[in-house]
Amino acid sequence: MAYAGVQDVRKVGVLAAHPDSVLAAQRAGCGAIVALADEGVAARWPLIVAQADVVIAPEEFAALDKERYSATRAHRQRVLLNPGPSVVSDRVHRAIGGPDLCHREPEYSDILERVRAKLLDVAGVGDDWAMAMLAGSGTSALESMVLSSVRPGKKLLVCRNGVYGDRAAKIAERAGVEVVNVPASDLTPIDPAAVAAALDANPDIDAVFVVHHETTTGLLNPVQAIAKEADKRGVLVAVDAISSLGAEDLELRDTGIDMVASTSNKCLHGLPGAAFVLISPRGQRRIEEVPPKTLYFDLAAYLAAQKKRTVPFTPAIPALYSLDAALDELMEETLAHRKELYAARMDAVDRDLAGLGLTARVAPEHRSRCVRSFPLPEGYDYDTLHDQLKDRGYIVYAGLGDAAKTTFRVCALGSMTVEGMEGFTAALAEVVG
């Protein structure tokens, strides 16, 4: 390693022809172990049992090296500036290597209860709030929340100023729930007065849905003010905090917000695959009053099972391992520091892109701490910009809706530094030069 100038053993790959060599490489912590053997189970089985990463014939190594290990391979680590999946720490990656675990055993229930306590702490609510954990993307939590919030014959008010408000409306409509829309542009926060007017005009509205952070453009909605109007009228409020919990200010205690959907990934820095809904006491009573519309997304079934220290379906245990570790990271870091770091990263992006003549489309007072929508640089389409930045190690994201052809998004979710974001802005400056 010293001769090659490599200081990190995780960047060392080993070619092994004997099980003992595989085991030695494992003990050393090498990043890749390729076993070489002739065709046939008899020759390869000992190397498979020894747990090499792959077992191939010697003449196949050159092609494998080019595809999987070379510096120019297509699939390699890059800085993800998309709105999820987000970059996670080595600590979180290591956590998913926990023991194989049956979800019907008490050890799983202990982990789930530990994660629940941490999430309630992050959310700033008491132990009277419930948590339902699902295996799936953030949309699984969103769908289960929407379907469990409206009683038969009642309506759902949906605040729609982006793709994710539209998604909630589509979920409700497909389930046969009548929707009352309160629209705004994807650059404008929802007006609480418009919500109040819609509630007064439709006394059969049973719940209000609003996206806290609309990642279509990086826009924050005034969820507390909206919840206040709903609470005055005794109407339940369900919030999509999939891209905000852990990074944005979201007061829940005594605000009139009753359900919050989020995910293990995004701003909590776990790996994708686990999603959850946090539910107030009033929200729990509502769930009991809503007949289930689906089998898998029935929140009442999850809550009933968890009270018995079990779950209704097989959970995504590695994702839960990662969330548990990510929440430990967040507790050690503190929520206040996490928010400061997110703000500092996007301040660097705003400053450096302004120097390139690119200004975020959302007004400063309504911007989130983690997503920006920018106009495309003059003379660039999205695909060209994306590909040139990808060549330099950075993944940006396309705009959405009507602005897809004229904008791109920069997202700073996950385990990244201010210096990492400045590396991106330097790469962008080199591209558009």
**What was the pLDDT predicted at 71?**
86
Buried b (16+ CB within 10 A) or exposed e, 10-21: eebebebeebeb
Integer Cα distance of 424 and 329 in angstroms: 25
Q: For 188-233, write each residue's pLDDT tens digit.
A: 999 999 999 999 999 999 999 999 999 999 999 999 999 999 999 9
Res. 433 pLDDT band, cuts 50 70 90: confident
- d(CA 370, CA 367) in angstroms, rounded, equals 9
Q: What integer best gives the mean pLDDT of the chain?
A: 96
Q: Is the pLDDT of residue 272 over 90?
A: yes
Q: How confident is the model at residue 52 (pLDDT cuts 50, 70, 90)?
A: very high
pLDDT band at residue 83 using 50, 70 and 90 as cut-offs: very high
User: Using 50, 70 and 90 to split pLDDT, how confident is the model at 403?
Assistant: confident
**DSSP letter string, 183-247:** E--TTSPPPHHHHHHHHHH-TTEEEEEEESEETTTTEEP-HHHHHHHHHHTT-EEEEE-TTTTTT
* Percent share of the chain, pLDDT over 70: 100
* CA-wise closest residue to 401 among 262, 261, 223, 214: 214
Q: Give the pLDDT of residue 216.
A: 95
Per-residue pLDDT of 314-366, as tens digits, reads 999 999 999 999 999 999 999 999 999 999 999 999 999 999 999 999 999 99
pLDDT in tens, 153-170: 999 999 999 999 999 999
What token pair was written down for 365? 């007072």
Q: Which amino acid appears at position 38 of this protein?
A: D
Work out the average pLDDT over 401-427: 94
| pLDDT beyond 80 at 1 | no
- Cβ-Cβ contacts under 8 Å for 144 (sequence gap 6 or more): 132, 134, 261, 277, 297, 298, 299, 302
Q: pTM to 2 decimals?
A: 0.94
Please state the rounded mean pLDDT for residues 369-381.
97
| Ordered domains of the chain (ranges, CATH) | 9-69 (no CATH), 79-88+334-432 (3.90.1150.10), 90-331 (3.40.640.10)
Question: For residue 270, what pLDDT band results from cuts at 50, 70 and 90?
Answer: very high
**125 backbone φψ class: left, alpha, beta (φ>0; ψ -120 to 50):** beta
